[in-house]
Amino acid sequence: MSLDPVAVQSLVRGALDEDLGGGRDITTEALVPPEARARGLIVAREPFVVAGLPLAREVFRQLDAGLIWTAVDEGAEAAAGDTIASVEGAARPILTGERTALNFLQRLCGIATQARIASKEVEGTGAVVLDTRKTTPMLRAAEKHAVAIGGASNHRMGLHDAVLIKDNHVALAGGVGRAMALAREAGLRPGDIEIEVSDLREVGEALEAGAGRILLDNVTPEEAREAVRMVAGRAIVECSGGLRPGFLRPYALAGADYLSLGWLTHSARAADISMEVQPIR
């Protein structure tokens, strides 16, 4: 998914307000004269997939629209020591924006990197790696952007754009069949409904009710294979629950259509990135 420019502006404005407290960068103002000029090089300290450059650029634009920004492409693969972006001009806004820009980049590059690793792990199987709603509050669009940049795919954006009956819905409804019946009574088409199941009995109930997509939660690869055999193409099969890179291929080979990983957005390690600031005389 692409980042909405208006949303980027709003997100960056909030992040800068958080750091500046609506006030000033008192350290930089005390040490750096207004006329000082500098060049900031954003450098990879380890290999990763680049994501989040529009946010980093917007940080510096909001602080000083006259700064000159250059960067590699989103989705590029950086090696340790590579300069992925540079910003040049007045020194004060470069120093003020350094941490906020790096925070965005470190988080999103880390997610994009793991998304690429996960996608490559299932290459050739037909399975697709998805993200989930397990995202940082207010950063969902940015984190899902990073997932897509890394080569994986986005699941639903939120509660508003797809039907997913989870285990707690099933518990409150009184079972898989009853949950599907209530969804149909509410005007939802069975083929548009995804429902979470925990065993083969519930797979059968979901199939009988006409579910279009079945989410196998916390199953083994062997259980996934048996469920796929049972479904026999009558519904889309998705596996989820504790999945992470390095453990995906057995589920893909079991025949699952999708593998959804909350891990991508709640546990991916931040990439190691720094800024080297050079004075311009």
Q: Is 81 left (phi over 0), alpha (psi -120 to 50) or beta?
A: left
Q: Tell me which of 58, 131, 143, 196 is the catalytic residue.
A: 196
Is 202 noted as a catalytic residue in this protein?
no
Is 82 noted as a catalytic residue in this protein?
no
Q: Tell me which of 120, 134, 225, 249 is the catalytic residue.
A: 134
Tokens of 124: 């050739």
Is 196 noted as a catalytic residue in this protein?
yes
Euclidean distance between CA atoms 199 and 153, whole angstroms: 26
179 and 169 Cβ atoms separated by less than 8 Å: yes
Q: Tell me which of 19, 217, 226, 272 is the catalytic residue.
A: 217
Look at strands 193-197 and 213-217 and give their pairing.
parallel
Q: What string of DSSP letters covers 178-207?
A: HHHHHHHHTT--GGGEEEEESSHHHHHHHH
Contacts 24+ apart (CB under 8 A), 176-181: 176/202, 176/205, 176/206, 176/209, 177/205, 177/208, 177/209, 180/205, 180/206, 180/209, 180/210, 180/211, 181/209
Q: Tell me which of 99, 229, 234, 269 is the catalytic residue.
A: 99
Q: Phi first, then psi: what are they for 213, rounded to 5°? A: -150, 135
Q: Tell me which of 13, 45, 166, 201 is the catalytic residue.
A: 166
Is 217 noted as a catalytic residue in this protein?
yes
Euclidean distance between CA atoms 10 and 16, whole angstroms: 10
Q: Is 214 left (phi over 0), alpha (psi -120 to 50) or beta?
A: beta
240 and 256 Cβ atoms separated by less than 8 Å: no
Torsion over CA of 244, 248, 254 and 260, rounded to 10 degrees?
Answer: 40
Euclidean distance between CA atoms 55 and 8, whole angstroms: 6
Is 276 noted as a catalytic residue in this protein?
no
Residues with a catalytic annotation lie at 99, 134, 166, 196, 217
